[in-house]
């Protein structure tokens, strides 16, 4: 069984973890086009190479980020999400634009 090095709990069987999908940047939900939003929601790069993914250590409820090579399945690095998400995220209060209902 594959071993995943958890930044909080150390190396553990992969069965202790839940995959949370690729780390993706959300387009501005107010101002992006329908197509941009659909791509964000539905499309996955699914690339052969290094991907950045969310992983949850279920027993400790700890989400972290892993860089993994999808061809070799090698886990290159794992780290706390605060390395990427440093700032409090705000959503603007502007009303949705008309294109939404187009």
Partner 1 sequence: MTRLNAPMGLLIDRDQPLAFNFDGKPYQGFKGDSIASALAGNGRWLLSRSFKYHRPRGPLTMAGQDANTLIQLGKEPNVLADRELAENGIDVQGQNYNGSLDGDRDAILGHFSRFMPVGFYYRCFFKPMGVWDKWEGLIREKAGLGVLDLEFEPEYYDKAYLFHDVVVVGSGPAGLSAALKAADAGASVLLVEEQPILGGSLTYNRFDVAGSQADNLRADLVGRVEQHKNIEVLTRAACNGWFADNYLPVIQGKRMYKVRATECIVASGSFEQHVVFRNNDLPGVMMSSAASRLMKHYAVKPGNRAVVLTGNDDGYLTALELLDQGVQVAAVVDMRPAPESEQIASAVLSRGVQVLSGHTVYEALPTKGNKHVRAVDVRAITGRGEVASKGETFDCDLLCMSAGYMPVYQLLCQAGGQLKYDDDAAEFSLSKLPAQLRIAGSVNGIHSLEAVLADGERAAQQALQTLGLADGAAPAAVSCGRKVNFEWPIFSHPKGKDFVDFDEDLQAKDIVNATRLGYRDVQLVKRFSTVGMGPSQGRHSALPTARLVANATDRTVTETGVTTARPPFSPEKLAHVAGRIFDPYRRTAMHHRHNELGAKMMPAGNWQRPAFYGKAEQRDACMQAESQHVRNKVGVIDVSTLGGIELRGPDAAEFMNRIYTFAFLKQPVGKTRYAVLTNEHGVVIDDGVSCRLADEHFYVTATTSGVERVYREMMKWNAQWRLDVDITNVTSAFAAVNLAGPDSRKVLEKLATDVDLSPEGFPYLAYREGHVAGIPSRLLRVGFVGELGYEIHVPAHFGEALWDALMAAGEEFDIRPFGVETQRLLRLEKGHIIVSQDTDGMSHPGELALEWAISRKKPFFVGRRSVDIVMAQPQTRKLVGFTLPEGTKKPEEGHLVLEGDNISGNVTSCEFSPAVGAIIGLAYVGINQIEAGSQFPIRVDGGQMVQATVVDLPFFDPDNARQAL
Partner 2 sequence: MSAITPESFSKRSFVYRQLSAASFTEVAGAAQAADLKNGRNQAMQAGLLDLSVLPRTGFRGLNAAAHLQAAGLPVPAKPNQASVADSGELVLRLSQKEFWVLGNLADEGARIDSLNQQPLPDSNCYPLYCQDSHAWLTLTGAHLPAIMAKVCGVDLREEAFPLGSIAQTSAARINVVIVNHQINGLPCFTVLCDSAAAEYLWECLLDAMGEFGGEVIGSGALS
Which parts of this chain interact with partner 1 (CB under 8 A)? 1-3, 18, 20, 29-30, 32, 34, 37-38, 40-42, 54, 56, 61, 63, 73, 81-82, 85-89, 91-94, 96, 100-102
- Both tokens of 94, joined, read 């502007």
Q: How far is the CB of 20 from partner 2 (least distance, A)?
A: 17
Q: CB of 97: closest distance to partner 1 in angstroms?
A: 10
Does 33 interact with partner 2 (rule: CB under 8 A)? no
Smallest separation, CB 21 to partner 2 (Å) = 22
In which order are the strands placed within the sheet that holds 75-79? 17-22, 50-57, 62-69, 75-79
Which lies closer to partner 2 via its Cβ, residue 51 or residue 66? Answer: 66
- Taking CB under 8 A as the rule, does residue 38 contact partner 2? no
Q: How far apart are CA 72 and CA 82, in angstroms?
A: 27
The Cα 91–Cα 77 span in angstroms is 31
> Rounded distance, CA 61 to CA 18, Å?
10
Q: How far apart are CA 64 and CA 7, in angstroms?
A: 7
List residues near partner 2 by CB under 8 A: 1, 8-10, 12-13, 15-16, 57-60, 62
């Amino acid at each position: 069984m594959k071993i995943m090095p958890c930044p909080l709990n150390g190396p553990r069987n992969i069965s202790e973890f839940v995959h949370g999908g690729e780390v993706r940047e959300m387009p501005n939900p107010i101002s992006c086009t329908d197509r941009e939003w659909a791509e964000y929601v539905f499309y996955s790069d699914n690339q052969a190479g290094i991907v950045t993914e969310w992983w949850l250590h279920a027993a400790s409820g700890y989400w972290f980020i892993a860089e993994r090579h999808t061809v070799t399945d090698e886990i290159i690095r794992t780290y706390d999400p605060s390395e990427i998400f440093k700032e409090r995220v705000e959503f603007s209060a502007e009303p949705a634009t008309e294109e939404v209902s187009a």
